[in-house]
Amino acid sequence: RFETWMRENSSLAGVDFLRRAYEYCLIELSADSDALIEEWAGGIVGHNYPTPPRILDYTERITRKYLDWAICAGNPPADNVFNLFAVEGSTAGMCYCFDVLKQNFLLNKGDSIAIMVPVFTPYIEIPQLDEFEYKVLNVRADGTTADGLHTWQYDPADIEQLKDPKYKMLFVVNPSNPPSYAIAPETVKAIQDVVKANPNLMILTDDVYGTFVDGYRSLIADLPFNAMSCYSFSKYFGATGWRLAVTAVSENNVFDKLIAELPADKKELLNARYQSLTIDVPNLKFIDRMVAESRLIALNHTAGLSTPQQIQMALFSLGSLLDKDGIYHKRMIRLIHDRYDALWKNFGFKMPDDPLRADYYSEIDMMVWAKKLYGQEFADYMDKTYNPLAIVFRLASETGSVVLNGDGFDGPRWSIRVSLANLNEEDYVRLGQNIRQVLNQFADEWKASKQQK
């Protein structure tokens, strides 16, 4: 019926895409045509709970293929399968990850973890909550060039601290938020060396911005046994309101290994916790425990992302998989690069190209530019006279420009974070000019204060 409908309605908008998507699934995924269309039609109607709760069958196969491109640079790890859990945006994925780690005794109160900073603020705040109270090592992206510009990269020597087995887990947003830089190859190598020395190290990599870097490769691609990935469709497809994301865990992984190695008393508690789900709790996989915990176990049968959302996620994935020439990908990267250039040019500088730069955000350390433009004396005056938030508030009150303070992300105290995802290019022209205007105002006030002495 579906094939007949497509033939009879071939001129309708979207039918050609559906035909190509359908044929892709039949050829590349060896899909059963009836089962595929049943999943799509039933999923769009939304007449049932998601079954399986973790993710629909063909949605998982399609999305897995998309992730091979999006976070594995088209070269996924050999002899490895990613199991996916479709979630309500990566923020839900984060919550589920923290919870399942706690409930399964993989992270306990007082355990030591590491966070690569600057970082999305909830990764800073969640470990401080009463139910977690982790001891946190901040691994800082404090690398600079010879002339003092931030590279937003990490010192491999700092990474080496994680060889100490007291560190149970590493949290990383890659490319970073807000600096918006992918981790350099030498840092990836340093993390791989850490895992050799600390083989039980768990890693959560938040890969939402990866599609804005050509050839992006997630830590889960290079360390599939140790890492799990949170990936959201929100940014690349401009679909934040849809709440579409997946959490990916390899079929063979450190999380299941560590659960299997728990002491007998902990295993007994977990057997009691999950006994309503299966008679074979020891073989209940980590990712399926995550699904259950997302609905307090008792509601496991109602877990999962709504089926219309899952079908939309599959269609987004297929759109990229069918775009063999990468037309959309190139346009998205060009779009935000042009906005980045407009911002910095009108702030007064041209930043050097960097293939690791995602440009979804830009973090501007105003102290660096205060020194470069007006010297150390002015920088000292600015630091002594003003609160760093003065820039944020003055921009808003005098120009209507809204930015965030970078220290809220554990970035440099005088940095500001600009999102390059929300406005048109001409708006970033004005924003760059406005930021420079505020810095110039501070300099004028400094000069006036000197004349009064």
If you ran DSSP here, which 8-state letter would residue 118 be given?
Answer: S
Candidates 3.40.50.150, 3.10.580.10, 3.40.640.10, 3.30.70.1380; correct CATH number of 2-322? Answer: 3.40.640.10
Picking from 380, 378, 369, the residue whose alpha carbon sits closest to that of residue 443 is 378
| pLDDT digits 0-9 by tens, 103-120 | 999 999 999 999 999 999
Name the region of 110 (left: φ>0; alpha: ψ -120 to 50; beta: rest): left
The one-letter amino acid code at 236 reads Y
Query: H or E element: which one contains 155?
Result: none
Distance CA 70, CA 60 (A): 15
Residue 198 scores a pLDDT above 70: yes
Structural contact between residues 54 and 304, judged by C-beta atoms closer than 8 angstroms: yes
Q: At what angle do helices 57-70 and 33-45 cross, to 10 degrees?
A: 90
326 token code pair: 């990468």
Task: For CATH 3.40.640.10, list the domain ranges present in the chain.
Answer: 2-322
Picking from 336, 334, 332, the residue whose alpha carbon sits closest to that of residue 344 is 336
Residue 390: predicted pLDDT: 95
pTM for this entry: 0.95
Query: H or E element: which one contains 48?
Result: none
| pLDDT digits 0-9 by tens, 76-104 | 999 999 999 999 999 999 999 999 999 99
Q: What is the mean pLDDT of the chain?
A: 96
Residue 453: predicted pLDDT: 66
| pLDDT digits 0-9 by tens, 201-232 | 999 999 999 999 999 999 999 999 999 999 99
Residue 282: predicted pLDDT: 97
Residue 451 scores a pLDDT above 90: no
Task: For CATH 3.90.1150.10, list the domain ranges present in the chain.
Answer: 327-451
Q: Domain 327-451 classified CATH 2.70.70.10?
A: no
| pLDDT digits 0-9 by tens, 42-83 | 999 999 999 999 999 999 999 999 999 999 999 999 999 999
Q: How many CA atoms lie within 13 A of 137 on its CB side?
A: 17
